[in-house]
Amino acid sequence: MKKNEKPKKFYEFKKISEVETELYIFGDITSWPWLESDVGAFDIAKDLSSVDTDLRVRINSYGGEVAEGLAIYSLLKSFGRKVTTVCDGFACSAASVIFMAGEKRVMTNSSLLMIHNAWTYASGDANALRKQADDLEKITKPSLDIYKSVSNLSEEEIKKMMDDETWITKEEALAYGFATEIQDVSAQQSINQMYLNRAVLRNKALEKENKELKEALNKQPKDLTGWDAFFNTKN
By residue count, the chain amounts to 235
Alpha helix ranges (H) inside the chain? 41-48, 66-77, 94-99, 126-150, 155-163, 170-176, 185-219, 227-231
Burial class (CB in 10 A: 0-12, 13-18, 19+), 177: middle
Domain definitions of the chain by residue range = 12-183, 191-231
Fold of 12-183: 2-enoyl-CoA Hydratase; Chain A, domain 1 (3.90.226)
Q: Beta strand 12-15 with 20-25: parallel, antiparallel or unpaired? A: antiparallel
Residue 64 DSSP label: B
pLDDT in tens, the chain (235 residues): 445 544 445 566 888 888 999 999 998 898 765 555 456 788 888 888 889 999 999 999 999 999 999 999 999 999 999 999 999 999 999 999 999 999 999 999 999 999 999 998 889 999 999 999 999 999 999 999 999 999 999 999 999 999 999 999 999 999 999 999 999 876 444 444 444 555 555 666 666 666 766 666 666 655 545 544 444 544 4
Flag whether the pTM goes above 0.85.
no
